[in-house]
Amino acid sequence: MKRFSDEEPQVDLDENEGKQREYKKRGVRGSVREILLTVVIALAVSIVIKTFLFRAFVIPSTSMQNTLLVNDRVFVNQLFPQPFKLERGNVIVFKDDEKWLPELPQAAQPNAFEKALTFVGLRPDDGTQHLIKRIIGLPGDTVECCTASGKISVNGVEITEPYLYPGDKPSEVPFKVTVPKDHLWVLGDHRSDSGDSRYHTDKNNGMVSMDSVVGRADFIAWPLDRWGGVANPEGAFDAVPDREPKE
């Protein structure tokens, strides 16, 4: 009859413990790989969305009150102006290529880490190099203020603007412009507190190039009590006829 030594069970136990430790190591390594892969995929998706579809911005000023308030977070649809067309009344974000804004001190500029988070879409753009306004004139439009009743007219048609800040007039400054090809005429909803096309006629006659447009502001994501779409004024521009822009 074979006798089992006292050491034999100990050998089996050591082997089992070793296998269990190896399995645990493999499990930890597998979990780490899964987490890293998930992070990489999430970042890739975020970059694609930010680059081609939507981009987040923080509203920095009162120029679009009460449509947009300071520190609202908005999502901008980058499928406008291409492949989809912009319309009168759309709220757009555009790059400050004409230098409407004063230069910010270095201390106010986002640091490298903040820029990296903005680049991958994990941090809203603080808007320091961008502006947000409402389109009043499309290419070919003649925009004028003011009519006998004190309103703005587009191509000879008087418009009613329900989005104006309470108590504001359509404009305290008279103007008459014809929008050239591939450009826009823009105004803020808070007309008495908006440095818009009216006040930058010394720079490209106050026009915004289509090439500067980042996209159309479609959605307020934060704060939660303001969650919802950025509405276009229904009917405000319906009667305005289109005009072909001059070359």
The residues annotated as belonging to the active site are 63, 133
Structure tokens at 92: 């757009």
The 8 Å CB, 24+ separation contacts for 123-127 are: 123/56, 124/56, 124/57, 124/58, 124/73, 125/55, 125/56, 125/57, 125/58, 126/57, 126/58, 126/60, 127/57, 127/58, 127/59, 127/60, 127/93
Structure tokens at 78: 């980058």
Using CA atoms, how far apart are residues 215 and 93, in angstroms rounded to an integer?
Answer: 6
Element (H, E) at 186: strand 183-187
Count other C-beta atoms under 10 Å from residue 136's C-beta: 26
β-strands 157-158, 175-178 pairing: unpaired
Q: Let me know: does 99 contact 145? Beta carbons within 8 Å.
A: no
Is the omega angle on the peptide bond into residue 245 within 30 degrees of 0, that is, cis?
no
What are the start-end ranges of the E strands in 60-111? 73-77, 91-95
Cβ neighbourhood burial of 167 (10 Å; 0-12, 13-18, 19+) = exposed
